[in-house]
């Protein structure tokens, strides 16, 4: 599971159901491969990641989980600042730099988030969004094995993105793997409350694909999409009277 999926699943709180449209989605020409990859990912999640995440959430006090989430959120700010600059967002780059410095010092390495209290709200920028700003089309939707939802453009953007994570520069392999693993487990634990909503969808694959693509478009355009209300796209329908009320957006930002 990756940060992109965590962001995408915020849309699942709309309480909608996915129904078969009867025709292929032009955004997903590799659907046969993607569905196979999704099935593998789903099986791995059910067998390993989800049970571990549930145990982690059960035994780890909330304040510790908050601190862990804040820590990884603070690391994300490095990529955000770089991409702020690449996108020409000078003022935002300054604010995000100040946020990173404040949380890294006063926040004890990012475990606490004094920057938000000081009015420095978190932004999320990455190389995929930067390529989109530069006019690079998203390309076909991709369900990457293990890594989750993406597009051809965002898959390419993963390569420079990995070099902005200071954890990757740790010399000790064991320490690097442990820290990375904790981040993945913490992220998955934050998504557990959305599992029931996903299971209610007629087609989980299409549901996650549509939600992820809508959310990604919203990110790349900074919310300036033609349909600002994020109406459900092809293959999704509005909630009926039998559907549950919309839940609050509890998907944890990888951010603090």
Query: What are the structural domain ranges in the chain?
Result: 3-19+26-237
Q: Which pLDDT score is estimated for 177? A: 97
Assess contact for 206 and 18: CB atoms under 8 A. yes
Q: Which pLDDT score is estimated for 230? A: 43
pLDDT digits (tens, 9 = 90+) for 133-186: 999 999 999 999 999 999 999 999 999 999 999 999 999 999 999 999 999 999
Q: How sure is the predictor about 224, in pLDDT bands with cuts at 50, 70 and 90?
A: confident
């Amino acid at each position: 599971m990756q940060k992109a999926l965590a962001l995408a699943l915020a849309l699942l709180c709309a309480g909608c159901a996915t129904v078969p449209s009867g025709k292929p989605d032009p955004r997903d020409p590799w659907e046969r491969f993607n569905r196979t990859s999704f099935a593998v990912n789903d099986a791995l999640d059910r067998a390993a990641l989800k049970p571990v995440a549930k145990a982690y959430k059960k035994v780890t006090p909330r304040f510790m989980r908050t601190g862990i989430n804040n820590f990884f959120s603070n690391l994300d700010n490095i990529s955000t600042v770089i991409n702020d600059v690449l996108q020409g967002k000078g003022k935002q780059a300054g604010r995000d730099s100040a946020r990173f410095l404040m949380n890294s010092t006063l926040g004890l390495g990012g475990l606490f988030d004094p920057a938000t209290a000081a009015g420095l709200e978190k932004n999320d920028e990455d190389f995929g969004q930067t390529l989109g700003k530069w006019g690079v089309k998203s390309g076909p939707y991709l369900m990457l094995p293990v890594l989750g939802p993406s597009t051809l453009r965002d898959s390419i953007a993963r390569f420079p993105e990995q070099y902005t994570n200071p954890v990757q520069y740790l010399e000790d392999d064991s320490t690097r793997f442990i820290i990375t693993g904790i981040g993945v487990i913490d992220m998955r634990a934050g998504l557990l409350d959305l599992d029931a909503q996903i299971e209610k969808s007629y087609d989980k694959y299409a549901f996650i694909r549509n939600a992820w693509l809508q959310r990604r478009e919203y990110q790349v355009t900074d919310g300036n999409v033609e349909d600002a209300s994020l109406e459900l796209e092809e293959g999704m329908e509005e909630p009926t009277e039998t559907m549950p009320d919309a839940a609050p957006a509890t998907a944890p930002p990888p951010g603090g």
